[in-house]
Amino acid sequence: MGIRPTDRILEIGCGRGSAVSLICERLDGGRITAIDRSITMVKLAEQRNDAHVAAGKAVFHAAALDAADLDDDRFDKVFAINVNLFWVRSSERELDHVRSLLKPSGALYLVYEPPDSSRAAAIADRIAPFLTEHGFTTTVSMATTRRSMALVCLKATKDLDH
Residue 99 belongs to some domain of the structure: yes
Q: What DSSP string describes the chain?
A: ----TT-EEEEES-TTSHHHHHHHTT-SS-EEEEEES-HHHHHHHHHHTHHHHHTTSEEEEES-GGG---TT--EEEEEEES-THHHHS--HHHHHHHHHHEEEEEEEEEEE--SSGGGHHHHHHHHHHHHHHTTEEEEEEEEE-TTS-EEEEEEEEE-TT-
Which of residues 66 and 9 earns the better pLDDT score?
9
Task: List, for residues 120-152, the tens digit of each pLDDT value.
Answer: 888 888 899 989 988 899 999 888 766 667 889
Where residue 161 falls among pLDDT bands split at 50, 70, 90? low
Q: Give me the domain span that covers residue 92.
A: 8-158
Residue 1 belongs to some domain of the structure: no
What is residue 160's predicted lDDT score, i.e. its pLDDT? 65
Task: List, for residues 95-119, the tens digit of each pLDDT value.
Answer: 888 999 999 999 999 999 888 777 8
Residue 59 belongs to some domain of the structure: yes
Residue 147 belongs to some domain of the structure: yes
Residue 15 belongs to some domain of the structure: yes
Given a cut of 60, is residue 12 above it in pLDDT?
yes
Which CATH number characterizes residue 77's domain?
3.40.50.150
Which of residues 160 and 39 earns the better pLDDT score?
39
Residue 3 belongs to some domain of the structure: no
Number of domains in the chain: 1
Residue 38 belongs to some domain of the structure: yes
Task: List, for residues 32-74, the tens digit of each pLDDT value.
Answer: 999 999 999 999 999 999 999 999 999 999 999 988 888 778 9
Residue 2 belongs to some domain of the structure: no
Whole-prediction pTM: 0.92
